């Protein structure tokens, strides 16, 4: 494994490093090398295994969507203090927030993002609740990669009335 010593990111949960895995290490059958993100948990923080499970669940929920993706955990290398996942290349969507309303890429990213949130909220009942611009990357011409899936919300009580259900979820997300 080739490991870059300088972190590429740091958050409240972990520091993130970039590394390259050699042949077959990642998924046991992959040919060639694989660039990965290694998240090393800060002391005193809950284990990062939950994030690997969340990544897998979101990947499954969005398996038929071509314009939304998530990093893939490398389960052979996941540990309570370390999460190894595919390194996703992209740029922060914050680069597209301030552009004019006529910008086609910004509008497409907003459309994809809105549909993604609505699917999580109304269809999947499983929501990424830390979707700030640093956790959303633009890849290619206009697709989204959602990263840092540590915080999620799942409504436990389903309401019969859609408006009640939506209000319940928004209140749960906005609560301090």
The predicted model scores a pTM of 0.81
Q: Give residue 159's pLDDT.
A: 47
CATH code for the domain in which residue 20 is found: 1.10.510.10
Spatial contact of 75 and 51, defined as CB atoms under 8 Å apart: no
In angstroms, rounded to a whole number, what is the distance separating the alpha carbons of residues 22 and 24?
6
Q: Give residue 2's pLDDT.
A: 85
Q: Cα 127–92–73 angle (5° rounding)?
A: 55
How many domains does one find in the chain? Answer: 1
In angstroms, rounded to a whole number, what is the distance separating the alpha carbons of residues 104 and 126?
29
- Distance in angstroms between the alpha carbons of the first and the last residue of the chain: 42
Ordered mean pLDDT values, 10 residues apiece, the chain (176 residues): 89 92 65 89 90 95 96 92 94 80 81 91 87 90 88 63 65 63
Coil vs helix vs strand at 114: helix
Q: Give residue 175's pLDDT.
A: 61
Spatial contact of 160 and 166, defined as CB atoms under 8 Å apart: no
Whether 130 is catalytic is yes
Boundaries of domain holding 86:
2-174
From 2, 101, 124, 130, active-site residue: 130
In angstroms, rounded to a whole number, what is the distance separating the alpha carbons of residues 108 and 176?
31
Q: Give residue 149's pLDDT.
A: 84
């Amino acid at each position: 494994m080739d490991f870059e010593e300088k972190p590429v990111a740091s958050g409240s949960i972990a520091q993130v490093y970039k590394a390259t895995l050699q042949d077959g290490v990642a998924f046991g059958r992959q040919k060639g090398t694989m660039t990965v993100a290694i998240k090393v948990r800060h002391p005193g923080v809950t284990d990062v295994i939950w994030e690997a499970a969340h990544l897998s669940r979101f990947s499954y929920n969005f398996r038929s969507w071509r314009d939304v993706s998530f990093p893939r955990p490398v389960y052979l290398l996941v540990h309570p203090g370390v999460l190894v996942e595919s390194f996703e290349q992209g740029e922060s969507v914050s680069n597209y927030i301030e552009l004019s309303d006529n910008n086609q890429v910004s509008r497409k990213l907003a459309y994809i993002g809105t549909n993604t949130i609505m699917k999580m909220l109304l269809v999947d009942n499983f929501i990424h609740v830390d979707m700030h611009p640093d956790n959303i990357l633009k890849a290619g011409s206009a697709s989204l990669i959602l990263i840092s899936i540590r915080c999620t919300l799942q409504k436990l009580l389903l309401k019969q009335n859609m408006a009640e259900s939506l209000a319940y979820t928004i209140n749960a997300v906005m609560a301090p």
